[in-house]
Amino acid sequence: MNDDAPEIQDAAVSPGGPAGGGGATSDGARPGASPANSGAPLEMRGDSPLTAIRRQGRQRRIKRALAMLEWIVAFILVGVGLYFLWFLVFPPAETGTVARQYTREDFRARLRALPATVESPGWLATNPSPRWRRIVIHHTATDSGTVEAFDRNHREERKWENGLGYHFVIGNGRGMTDGEVAVGKRWREQLDGAHVGGGADRKLNETSIGIALVGNFEHDLPTARQLASLKALLNFLRRECNIGLASIVGHRDMSSTACPGKNIYLDEVLLVLANS
């Protein structure tokens, strides 16, 4: 909106411009007057009817100039009006990209509407290590992504030998299938994660199962299918690894980070798990 303000000022200034132009028209009237003056010495008679006619002519010209000025001002006002109407009907891209603000109620509503079935998971085959003490939920902080892309990024950019730092990635329909649970090498081979470093407890990655949901939940909501898969996966891991509800946490509960985003209300997820 700040961008609009100078426009208004500009628009407010420009009627002043033509007003200056009005000054110019009165200047234009003066040259009209000077021929009258220069005409006077030529026609020595200078009788009053002729002066009256000249005066009337001058007044007519001034009137015409004023009428034109009115038109110009009217055009500018209509232009400014149309300009604002345009932005009212077609808001600029800036305001268009401002993300919708989601609330706890939005998240709860999505949890209530979970798809009933989740495809029979391939995660059941593993024989989990007894060292897992907690589950840490993450978002990828990207709008889209595939497990292969995250794996490549962690392997090549972060130079992690075992690649993908999470044990599981849940797709959101952009890159991976919506609700698809990808099982990482670190889960298949029961390796330490690489997703919750930097805490006081250096052993966090050795004892924490990492689940990442594709998306940026600072702005968006997880999809219903993602939440359904998360619920099923959490229930599976709780059973398999004997992990209590209190040990299912968000990344931000362990480290100073916004992950997994303000639109994930983990307490609501835990409530659903407790009642299921």
List of residues contacting Zn ion (CB under 5 A): 138, 251, 259
Report helix angle 4-42 to 48-89, nearest 10: 170
At its nearest, how many Å lie between Zn ion and the CB of residue 164?
Answer: 13
Residue placing its CB nearer to Zn ion in the complex, 213 or 227 = 213
Classify burial at 94, counting beta carbons within 10 Å of its beta carbon; exposed 0-12, middle 13-18, buried 19 or more.
exposed
Residue placing its CB nearer to Zn ion in the complex, 16 or 198 = 198
Residue placing its CB nearer to Zn ion in the complex, 97 or 256 = 256
Could you tell me which of 228, 189, 187, 188 has the C-alpha nearest to residue 211?
187
Residue placing its CB nearer to Zn ion in the complex, 225 or 251 = 251
Residue placing its CB nearer to Zn ion in the complex, 110 or 252 = 252
For 36-102, the DSSP string reads: HHHHHHHSTT--HHHHHHHHHHHHHHHHHHHHHHHHHHHHHHHHHHHHHHHHHHS--HHHHHSPPPP
CA distance linking residue 243 with residue 251, whole number of Å:
17
The single-letter code of the amino acid at 3 is D
Label the pairing between strands 168-170 and 208-213.
Answer: parallel
At its nearest, how many Å lie between Zn ion and the CB of residue 115?
Answer: 25
At its nearest, how many Å lie between Zn ion and the CB of residue 251?
Answer: 3
HSE (side-chain half, CA atoms, 13 Å) at 258: 9
Tell me if 168 sits within 8 A of 183, measured CB to CB: yes
At its nearest, how many Å lie between Zn ion and the CB of residue 247?
Answer: 16
At its nearest, how many Å lie between Zn ion and the CB of residue 249?
Answer: 11
At its nearest, how many Å lie between Zn ion and the CB of residue 202?
Answer: 17
Residue placing its CB nearer to Zn ion in the complex, 22 or 170 = 170
